[in-house]
Amino acid sequence: MLRNKNILLSRWAALIFSSLLLMSLMISSCSKDFTSAKSALQGAPTGTDFWANADAATAARAVNAIYANLRTWNNVAFAAICVENMGSDDAIKGSVATDATYINEYDNFTVDASEGQLDGFWTAQYQNINLCNQVLANVPAISMDASLKSRYEGEAKFIRAWSYFRLVRAFGNIPLIMKLPQTAEELNPKQSTAAEVYAAIDQDLTEAAGLLPATYGAADVGRATKGAALSLHAKVDMYEAGKDASKWQNVLDYTNSVIQSGVYSLYPDYYAMFRIRGENCSESIFEVQCNYVAGNSDISNSQYAQVQGNRETNAGWGFNVPTTDLLNAFEPGDPRLAATIMRAGVTTPDGDVVPPPSAGAPTMYNMKAYVPFTLAVATNQGADQNVRVLRYADVLLMNAEANNELGHAADALTSLEKVRARARAKSANPTVDLPKITTTDKDQLRKAIYHERRVELAMENDRYFDVIRQGRAATIFGPLGWVAKDSIWPIPQAEIDNSGGILVQNAGW
């Protein structure tokens, strides 16, 4: 036991040190580059004494480090794809049959607790959380502009809440670490219940919404806003509503606040919204800001687009590809199909001719991760492609679902129609395709909203957990091998081992 605990203490110490070292490599910049990691300046503080001369610049570097970590491998690439999307009926492994075969274990529900992507995802979220805890432990004591200090605290609380949300819906009961560990017990904490984790997320998001601004100037676009905190809070409460129906009123209130703020609007071109030119557009509520700096792979470190790009054109590796089932889910004439699924033989709106696949290669790719081929053949192909996390369309659909569950069919139809109307405007036959939904029957309208969530948010890492929280997993995923224990993934065995048995495996695993 003692040996295992010492291993765990070393792991947590290494996590804290690496987080501090990342902070020490940050300097402030502008636009989406505020998250760019630059090479360390001579005389910059090392990880161990990062906070020794804490001032406003130190606080800025620390907050920027949180954002920079969000685009790292385990946050956006294989681990995130496996845990958050591969179990759904929207995606399969892709690439070629012999490459990264372990990804199939998530697709066919044969994964076990020793599979490495689970631990990668787990570790990435706790790295995010530790960076946030560093800011929340040290920034309040810094003598600096009070409004900026409050904003920094709000940004840290938002990202901590998002990381815990990713963890709790994936693993259920998890350690809840809301401050920097000081004692042996705090370094090796027991799991909190999912309800306790959700309560902590609720508190963080409530406080973040009160601290964050509605908008930013050009130099800070991409940082967490009040609208991001409210939107995420709506999504969190939507997940809780399955066990506590009173949460639907919260979902309605939070989404109404975002809608009535006037800050966001649906971007008219669904396809262009996912291109680099559409980053941080009117519909964007929160994106992971990614950067490409020519010849510098350490800075150009997001591999989100690279791992999903078209392997026939040297634009990527060809993983996380859409399924035929997803393709067939789109209604005739829905232009979102072509903006979601890249098929062999087509020419993209950006002029790229998609070649036929070589033997055993995918015939479809995730168009939402597409980067024009001329931009992709560089260090970490597509490293400049932001990862969309929260969009205004999602808020409208959450609003529609909450209204329907609360018996407000007319208001639900209004929000649902806004999303469909945007798609319909790009249809070749707008009077025929994507007809208005008119039913006021609660069950039928619920099905329509569920369908709209699938096609509107396809390949954006919501489908798998959406179906589970809707109570439909046995019906939809059952034929793929899903059983009740798959409602949450297993706790990584490495974490259980390193805890000396303090962490307990999820039921059934």
Q: What is the pLDDT along the chain (509 residues), one digit of tens a residue?
A: 333 333 344 455 455 555 555 554 443 333 455 665 332 222 334 455 788 878 999 999 999 999 999 999 999 999 999 999 999 999 999 999 999 999 999 999 999 999 999 999 999 999 999 999 999 999 999 999 999 999 999 999 999 999 999 999 999 999 999 999 989 999 999 999 999 999 999 999 999 999 999 999 999 999 999 999 999 999 999 999 999 999 999 999 999 999 999 999 999 999 999 999 999 999 999 999 998 888 777 788 999 999 999 999 988 999 999 999 999 999 999 999 999 999 999 999 999 999 999 999 999 999 999 999 988 766 678 899 999 999 999 999 999 999 999 999 999 999 999 999 999 998 878 777 899 999 999 999 999 999 999 999 999 999 999 999 999 999 999 999 999 999 999 999 999 999 999 999 999 99
Q: Hunting for tokens 């370094």 — which residue is that? A: 187
Pull the structure tokens for residue 492: 């990584």
- Residue 248 Cα distances to 164, 172, 500, angstroms: 21, 21, 40
Give the per-residue pLDDT at 302.
Answer: 95
Whole-prediction pTM value?
A: 0.93
* Among 439, 372, 341, residue whose Cα is nearest residue 94: 341
Name the CA radius of gyration of the chain, rounded. Answer: 22
Backbone angles phi, psi at 464, to 5 degrees: -60, -50
In angstroms, the CA 225 to CA 350 distance is 31
Amino acid found at 465: F
Spatial CB neighbours of 119, under 8 Å, sequence gap ≥ 6? 492, 493, 494, 495
Say how many CA atoms lie within 13 Å of 255 toward its Cβ: 28
172 dihedral zone (left: phi>0; alpha: psi -120 to 50; beta): left
Q: Hunting for tokens 């295992």 — which residue is that? A: 4
Q: Hunting for tokens 């999602």 — which residue is that? A: 394
360 dihedral zone (left: phi>0; alpha: psi -120 to 50; beta): left
DSSP-assigned letters across all residues of 245-286? TTHHHHHHHHHHHHHHH------S-HHHHTSGGGTT-TTEEE
Q: Residue 146 burial by CB count (10 A; 0-12/13-18/19+): exposed, middle or buried?
A: exposed
Q: Hunting for tokens 């919501």 — which residue is that? A: 462
The yes-or-no answer to whether 1-40+56-213+474-509 and 227-371+383-470 have a common fold is yes
Q: Hunting for tokens 């829905």 — which residue is that? A: 334
CATH architecture of the region 1-40+56-213+474-509: Alpha Horseshoe (1.25)
Pick the CATH number of 227-371+383-470 from 3.40.190.10, 3.20.20.140, 3.40.50.10490, 1.25.40.390: 1.25.40.390
In angstroms, the CA 425 to CA 155 distance is 36
Give the per-residue pLDDT at 11.
Answer: 52
Spans of all domains in the chain: 1-40+56-213+474-509, 227-371+383-470
